[in-house]
Amino acid sequence: MSSNLSARRRFLRDSAALVGLSAGVIPAAAAQMSHSEAPTTNATSKDTACKDTKDLIAYGERSRYVKSIRVPVSDRMSPDMFGMTFHIASPLQDSSGMITASSLHYVSTHRGSYLPDINPAEHRLMIHGMVDRPLIFTVDEIKRFPFVTRPHFLECSGNHAKATDKTVQQSHGLTSCSEWTGVPLSLLLKEAGVQNGASFFIAEGAETVKGAVSLPIAKAMDDCLVCYAQNGEPVRPQQGFPLRLIVPGFEGMVNVKWLRRIKLVEKNYMTYNDYGHLAPDSKVAALNHQIGPKSIITFPSGEQKLPGPGLYDITGLAWSGAGAVRTVDVSVDGGQSWKPAELRTPAYPMAHARFGFPWKWDGTETVIMSRCTDELGTVQPTRAEIAKYWNVPNDAQLQIKGLDNSIFPWRVASDGTVHNGLA
């Protein structure tokens, strides 16, 4: 027996002991694998399947064996009824850690067929309205201000789970988390000099429909960022190259891409992107944007299959617009009992955190779900509580209303297949 194999056995035995299980739960195939069956790779310098090395020297790419892709979500109308909102969902079922690869970040763009092709040398950001000194910045001038780098999630307010969703990509794929780098908007506003009486700002994008929103200046002063980098490179075109506004913890819609204008105003204005928030009181409208604590199990999830009874590591993502994730609980008995999961990443404010939960599946049908509590102590609500909040009579109507941060169930059938627990 190779020493690697005995190490592997030791790990499985020890980790089983760690969670109070006997070694008998180790999947038979792994425990009985002989040296000759051990997985090997035989890469040689003759391998020519990869791209020409010159291309790979210039810019890397993933293995051709990795097939994980984004998919368009075509059945969701824009809340503003001006036309379709084009949504592209991230493959959460394949995700690991807390950062989404930029190339797999979800996309939500009104009139999605149109992607602005902006030359950063020509791009400008104007700050005007109720300021002492209206200013126009080039991208390079923005980069001369002291930057900050922070992980933040984005989530589209259309990220509703439906009973007909088959995969976690369909039910929850309109959220992602990137490491964003940019300049605090408060610095730029101080440079311009905020006048008395200014209480909101309107942020506008450079594309045809502008993607404008209005937000309270207090939020700008608190933590908004004007970002030029995402995951260590310039913001991707679909995410708003060359400049995008990040409004930590607020729904995706207000994170204006291709940012070109910020106007300080005396009150909340109804803009294209604000249309979904027909709250007559501007204070209510402004506060409606914050995302509540939410979590989702990404493994095992819809259309995945457990090979048989045994030890599994349930994992998923948790986040909150109000701050950092404090705890995640997991239920493996349909919500009758809950146990704390482990946070496997740091829990940063307004960022995805990854949780893990070692689980011995005995092979009987069951329902698994996760529940997030954020640093304010707010607990992720049940589906019934959310329906009551939005005042909708039944589950079917939930999808047409506002944010849905409800607890989501996966049903694990006795053959190991995993299904939407709402169905």
Ligand X SMILES: Nc1nc2c(c(=O)[nH]1)N[C@H]1C(S)=C(S)[C@@H](COP(=O)(O)O)O[C@H]1N2
Per CB under 5 A, residues contacting Mo ion are 108, 156, 252-253
Is residue 354 classed as helix, strand or coil in its secondary structure?
A: strand
Q: How far apart are CA 351 and CA 317, in angstroms?
A: 10
Which is nearer to ligand X, 147 or 258 (by Cβ)?
Answer: 258
**Partner that binds at residue 239, options Mo ion, ligand X, none, CB closer than 5 to 8 Å by kind:** ligand X
By CB under 6 A, tell whether 257 contacts ligand X.
Answer: yes
Residues 126-155 that bind ligand X (CB under 6 A): 154
Which residues are bridge partners to 328 per DSSP? 372
Interface residue with ligand X, options 256, 343, 351, 418 (CB under 6 A): 256
Tell me how far, at minimum, the Cβ of 402 lies from Mo ion, in Å: 12
Binding part of the chain for ligand X, among 64-72, 101-109, 353-361, 387-395 by CB under 6 A, reads 101-109
The answer to whether the CB of 310 falls within 8 A of the CB of 25 is yes
By CB under 6 A, tell whether 253 contacts ligand X.
Answer: yes
Tell me how far, at minimum, the Cβ of 153 lies from ligand X, in Å: 10
Tell me how far, at minimum, the Cβ of 40 lies from ligand X, in Å: 40
**Partner that binds at residue 205, options ligand X, Mo ion, none, CB closer than 5 to 8 Å by kind:** ligand X
Nearest to 252 by CA among 70, 109, 375: 109
List the x/- string, 196-235, binding to ligand X by CB under 6 A. Answer: ---------x-x---x------------------------
Which is nearer to Mo ion, 192 or 350 (by Cβ)?
Answer: 350
The answer to whether the CB of 321 falls within 8 A of the CB of 350 is yes
Q: How far is CA 70 from CA 102, 170, 173, 231, in A?
A: 11, 10, 9, 18
Tell me how far, at minimum, the Cβ of 136 lies from ligand X, in Å: 19
Which is nearer to ligand X, 204 or 374 (by Cβ)?
Answer: 204
Q: How far apart are CA 203 and CA 402, in angstroms?
A: 22
Which residues are bridge partners to 154 per DSSP? 176
Which is nearer to ligand X, 13 or 236 (by Cβ)?
Answer: 236
**Partner that binds at residue 298, options Mo ion, ligand X, none, CB closer than 5 to 8 Å by kind:** none
β strands within 91-174, DSSP E: 107-110, 124-129, 135-138, 148-155
Torsion angles phi and psi, residue 128, rounded to 5: -150, -165
Q: How far apart are CA 168 and CA 187, in angstroms?
A: 39
Q: How far apart are CA 199 and CA 263, in angstroms?
A: 11
Binding site for ligand X (CB under 6 A): 105-110, 154, 156, 205, 207, 211, 238-239, 252-253, 255-258
